[in-house]
Amino acid sequence: MTDKIFVTRPFLPPVEEYLAYVKKIYETGILTGQAVSGPLGQELERRLSSFLKVENFQIVTNGTIALQFALKALGIESGEVITTPFTYVATTSSILWERCKPVFVDIEPDNFTLDPAKIEAAITPETKAIMPVHVFGYACDVDAIQKIADKHGLKVIYDAAHAFGSVYKGKSLTSYGDVSTLSFQATKIFHTAEGGACICRDRAVHERLDQAKHFGLNGTEHVCLGINGKQEEFNAALGLAVFDHMNEIFEARKHICAVYDELLKNKVQRPKPQKDLIFNHAYYPILFENEKELLAAFDRWNKADIFPRRYFHPSLTELPYLTEKFDCPVSKDVSSRIVSMPLYVGMTDDDVERVCKEI
């Protein structure tokens, strides 16, 4: 009997370390905030923004609401948002939920991020923003995208849910765009079980967002239409306990990726990330020749109790609740034959070998 290997496993810090933070909650009696975050939430915000070297950083309930807040705080309440179909469904659904229309543009074959060469053809008088994704922790062509946005007066919102810890051209990958959003959901590289964050270029946008997530309150005054988008203190306590292990998390994942690299050398197609990128090792995607070979590998894996995932499949151009058809052949092709390999802290070299043996 062998252990099951899943695509991921949430990192759990030693329980005593989590409880040491929880004890602080019991001491202050503050479980959450109303118009400002609680003390642990504030401490986590300080530590994360200093780690990422970004200003105007704030934690919110999750990565999906972070994207919705970004649209709201930038004043985008209608019109078209150019985005990628090769991502998790939340990127697209947040646009729809904010009553805007997602307009899909195809991805680059090398690193699966939005292809800047195809953006301008999709711009119409209704276009308000571009929402690219640093998918798997690889960097979008941020300079080319910003140039297009400036030329056409568009906002840029990066879904940076995968980008925590990636550094591009000497800066955190989360520091680009008008707003950059993170997810701290349990399977992400840094997590708070559920959580997310927004990083805003402008202080004014940051402040609008801060009020919006606290019911539209400024102190006790009602200043704008808000919602409840804040994180409570137990999530922050878990986040602090996880963050204490951040170096170990990055190192462990880097090592596992190096073992994969060694075992899969010249056997599978791999993405080609940018030269200027320090990668966070958030994911280890591989490409099969075609979907048939992928499905055959899944058969072998599942028989051996190994459960990688088809990230991302299908291409979101296929979402059943979208009426308009978009032609994004690269995204469609990549989604049909890409697999995200198991990768988590605690995975052993033997586990990696077991996974690779079936390819």
Ligand X SMILES: *Cc1c(COP(=O)(O)O)cnc(C)c1O
Compare residues 135 and 148 and give the one whose CB is closer to ligand X. 135
Smallest distance, Å, CB 162 to ligand X?
A: 6
CB count within 10 Å of CB 331 equals 28
Q: Does 166 bind ligand X (CB under 6 A)?
A: no
Sheet order of strands, 167-168 included = 171-172, 167-168, 277-278
Compare residues 64 and 331 and give the one whose CB is closer to ligand X. 64
Compare residues 162 and 354 and give the one whose CB is closer to ligand X. 162
Q: Which residues share a beta bridge with 325?
A: none
Q: Name which of residues 171 to 230 contact ligand X (CB under 6 A).
A: 183, 185, 196
Point out which span in 3-11, 71-79, 85-93, 334-342 binds ligand X (CB under 6 A): 85-93
β-pairing, 80-83 with 127-131?
parallel
From the list 37, 56, 83, 91, which residue makes contact with ligand X (rule: CB under 6 A)? Answer: 91
Smallest distance, Å, CB 272 to ligand X?
A: 20
Compare residues 114 and 161 and give the one whose CB is closer to ligand X. 161
Q: Does 163 bind ligand X (CB under 6 A)?
A: no
Smallest distance, Å, CB 152 to ligand X?
A: 24
Burial class (CB in 10 A: 0-12, 13-18, 19+), 267: exposed
Compare residues 141 and 159 and give the one whose CB is closer to ligand X. 159
Smallest distance, Å, CB 36 to ligand X?
A: 22
Smallest distance, Å, CB 161 to ligand X?
A: 3
- CB contact set of 26 (below 8 Å; sequence gap of 6+): none
Q: Name which of residues 48 to 77 contact ligand X (CB under 6 A).
A: 62-64
Dist CA 118 CA 48 (whole Å): 34
Compare residues 90 and 173 and give the one whose CB is closer to ligand X. 90
From the list 80, 159, 178, 210, which residue makes contact with ligand X (rule: CB under 6 A)? Answer: 159
Record the tokens describing residue 290, joined without a space: 């075609």
Q: Does 331 bind ligand X (CB under 6 A)?
A: no
Burial annotation 217-250 (CB, 10 A radius, 16+ → b, else e): beeeeeeeebeebbbbbbbbbbbbbbbbbbeebb
Smallest distance, Å, CB 297 to ligand X?
A: 23
Compare residues 155 and 162 and give the one whose CB is closer to ligand X. 162
Question: CA torsion sign, 273 to 277 to 278 to 282?
Answer: negative
Q: Which residues share a beta bridge with 93?
A: none
Residue 60, CA distances (Å) to 117, 196, 230, 259, 317 in order: 33, 5, 5, 35, 28
- CB contact set of 204 (below 8 Å; sequence gap of 6+): none
Residue appearing with tokens 């300079």: 143
Q: Does 88 bind ligand X (CB under 6 A)?
A: yes
Smallest distance, Å, CB 70 to ligand X?
A: 11
String of contacts with ligand X for each residue 237-276, x by CB under 6 A = ----------------------------------------
Q: What is the DSSP string of 51-106?
A: HHT-SSEEEES-HHHHHHHHHHHTT--SSEEEE-SSS-HHHHHHHHHTT-EEEE--
Q: Does 133 bind ligand X (CB under 6 A)?
A: yes
End-to-end CA distance of the chain: 21
Smallest distance, Å, CB 187 to ligand X?
A: 8
Q: Does 81 bind ligand X (CB under 6 A)?
A: no
Dist CA 290 CA 85 (whole Å): 19
Compare residues 91 and 175 and give the one whose CB is closer to ligand X. 91
Compare residues 194 and 358 and give the one whose CB is closer to ligand X. 194
Question: CA torsion sign, 227 to 158 to 64 to 25?
Answer: negative
Binding site for ligand X (CB under 6 A): 62-64, 87-88, 90-91, 133, 159, 161-162, 183, 185, 196
